[in-house]
Structure 1
Amino acid sequence: MMRGLSGAILLALLGGCTAIPRSQPPVTAPPPVPVVRATEPPERARFSFEGALQQGGLVIGTAPSGTAALFLDGQPVPLAAGERFLIGFDRDAGPSARLTARLADGRTITEPLTVRPRAWRIERVDIARGPSRPDPTYQRIRAAEVARIEAARAIESPVNGWLQRFAWPATGRISGVFGSQRIYRGEPGAYHSGVDIARPTGTAITAPADGVVVLAADRPFSLEGNLLIVDHGMGLNSAFLHLSRIDVRVGQRVGRGQLLGAIGTTGRSTGPHLHWALKWRDARVDPQLLVPPMEGN
């Protein structure tokens, strides 16, 4: 009796179950979603450069990650955000230079630089160079002017014009190029330290990049005439010579393309033109390397 009852109960239990067809695949759990972890970008182990590693050239660089101090041939170079920096090479710079980065962990990374030479426009004339014996009064005047220029160029303003693409402050016929020089019967004269743009007196000039006015002559200098100097930051500054007027004041921030003044022929000048000079610390650099080609030149 018990055996029969157990059989009936068993049949009832089996009847209440649903069989899984053999043709249907078994249900499996979905694969786990992979976890993507954010990773830090790889550290920069070397220097990188943008610009002209050549005489008269200007270079924007990025130092290795973790650089705490930077030196060019033993002289300190300031660092901006992201370990960016600026260096320049004079017209007569030697064929090599050396960058040294001192890292926060005490290591040093050195980068030798090859400075490419350039062929300068040299004019040899068969006349003797004129005597240069300025009188004492002029020497005193000139010494005071040079002191003002040096003090202005020593200012390093917290501006980032040095990172911008520079624009021509004026357009016109290029009447003088950077680095050109006369040789008087074997005796070299001073080389031309900027680029000359010939335009009529009163032609407007504008800022080639953002900056701060650090010198605005209140009266003409003996050589430069009405002189204006704009600091673009990181030791780079523009000088504008022979102006007929100056429309900005010392300490004023100016933006790229802003009116600065007008072309003239003040100071030691043979005709109306703009002399635009660029200097990084003590190195005179070629403005034409920083701007696009001027149409018609």
Structure 2
Amino acid sequence: MCVLVVAAFWGRVYAADMAPTLQGHFEQGGIVFGHTNPSTRVQLNGEPVQVSTNGHFVFGFGRDETGPVELKLTASSGEVWQQSYPIASRTFDIQRIDGLPKRTVTPDPEVVAEIRKNNEEVWIARQHRTEREDFANGFIWPAEGRISGVYGSQRVLNGNPRTPHYGLDVAAPTGTPVVAPAGGIVRLAHPDMVLSGGTMIIDHGYGFFSTFLHLSAMHVEVGQEVKQGEVVAEIGATGRATGPHLDWRINWGNVRLDPQYLVPKRN
């Protein structure tokens, strides 16, 4: 796991001895790991954050989060600890391309329908809330290779902003092994989605998921438990990819986070 920095905060503190241990990045795309008494109730902006049986929890912030955010802990005794944290903004790469044929920007209705079906399968896979603590045990790089794409970048095609890139791309030859960055359970193993090609989702517990895109082969099945470092797939160029690479994504529920915060930096 990368070296983590806790952001500055402001706000009133109640019951200071209840303060949780927090490690992470209070910024756009950032991930924060926490620990508290297992009986404590945790809320972020009024929404519940699940706490594991050993007191671990995790949350994060989307690409466009502006903050500030309010973190509140309530003990079983009723005591409250509360803090407000600013969210640091980031600068993301924006690429503008004009003069493209319409068919390359707007897919056919049949393709749109298939994409929606794929998106629903992905959404369903991420609804699991397994009581596993793999998310709290550290992460490793899922593949060896050169970083060819980063979280948050975006293209504007013919003046139309496209969905930002929410993954970390690792360029490597087709067939390069992909390993589980942390332990978990395989929730999706689709061989050929329209946009993402071979797609796999691993559940690391409590709503924290890894997703792998453009895979050429998969070596595990849905429902299978995997260990950190276990080979689960192979890099490919399936779906809409310009070359062989792994697109690794991290989700906390429906919030898309930056995988770079989980592992040592690489060029």
Give the CA deviation at 1:105.
Answer: 2.2
Q: 2:75 pairs with 71, 90, 103, which one? A: 103
Aligned partners of 2:76, 2:132: CA distance in 1, in Å? 26
Q: Match of 1:76?
A: 48
| Structure having the higher Rg | 1
2:262 aligned partner, one-letter code = L
Q: Which of 66, 86, 96 is matched with 1:94 structurally? A: 66
**Runs of at least 5 residues in structure 1 that lack an aligned partner in the other structure:** 1-41
For 1:187 and 1:223, the matched residues in 2 are separated by 18
Q: 2:226 aligns with which of 250, 254, 257?
A: 254
Q: Which one-letter code corresponds to 1:206 in the other structure?
A: V
Q: How does 1:205-284 map to 2 (within 5 A)?
A: 205-217=178-190, 219-284=191-256
Task: Tell me how far apart the structure 2 counterparts of residues 85 and 194 of structure 1 sit (CA, whole Å).
Answer: 22
Question: 2:123 is matched with which residue: 150, 163, 185?
Answer: 150
1:203 aligns with 176
Task: Determine whether 1:175 maps to 2:139.
Answer: no
Q: Which moved more, 1:195-204 or 1:122-131?
A: 122-131
Provide the C-alpha distance between the structure 2 equivalents of 1:166 and 1:147, rounded to a whole number of angstroms.
27
Q: 1:262 and 1:127, CA in 2 relative to 1: closer, same or farther beyond 3 A?
A: same
Checking the alignment, whether the CA contact within 8 Å between 2:28 and 2:63 is kept in structure 1 is: yes
Partners of 2:101 and 2:255 lie apart in 1 by 26
Equivalent-residue separation in structure 1 for 2:106 and 2:263 (angstroms): 38
SS of 1:220's partner is strand
Residue matched to 2:8: none
CA distance in 2 between partners of 1:186 and 1:133 (Å) = 13
The code of the aligned residue for 2:175 comes to G
C-alpha RMSD of matched pairs (Å):
2.2
When residues 288 and 129 of structure 1 are mapped into structure 2, their CA distance, relative to the original with a 3 A threshold, is: farther
* Structure 2: distance between partners of 1:104 and 1:129: 61
Contact 1:67 1:101 in 2 (8 A): no
Structure 1, 281-290 or 108-117: larger mean CA deviation: 108-117
Check the 8 A contact 1:129/1:187 in 2, yes or no.
Answer: no
Cα distance, 1:130 vs structure 2? 4.3
8 Å CA contact retained: 1:66, 1:104 = no
- Contact 1:66-1:103 at 8 Å conserved across structures: no
SS for the counterpart of 2:119 is helix
How far apart in 1 are the matches of 2:265 and 2:66?
27
Measure, in 1, the Cα distance between the counterparts of 2:40 and 2:139. Answer: 29
Higher strand share: 2
In structure 2, distance between residues paired with 1:216 and 1:157: 18
Size of the aligned set, in residue pairs, is: 252
- List per-residue Cα deviations over 1:200-253 (Å, max 9, x = no partner): 111111010111100011x30111111111011111101111111000011111
1:7 corresponds to = none
Higher relative contact order (CA 8 A, sep 6+): 2
Kindly state the Cα deviation for residue 184 of structure 1 after the two structures are TM-superposed: 4.2
TM-score (normalizing by structure 2): 0.87
* Residues 62, 83 of structure 1: 8 Å contact kept: yes
SS of corresponding position for 1:233: coil
Aligned AA (2:41): A
- Residue range with higher mean Cα deviation, 259-268 or 183-192: 183-192
Q: 177-186 or 263-272, which moves further after superposition? A: 177-186
Q: Which consecutive unaligned segments of at least 5 residues does structure 2 have?
A: 1-14
Letter of the 2:203 counterpart? D
Q: Which moved more, 1:231-240 or 1:180-189?
A: 180-189
Name the aligned partner's letter for residue 107 of structure 1: E
Q: How far, CA to CA, are the matches of 1:230 and 1:136 in structure 2?
A: 30
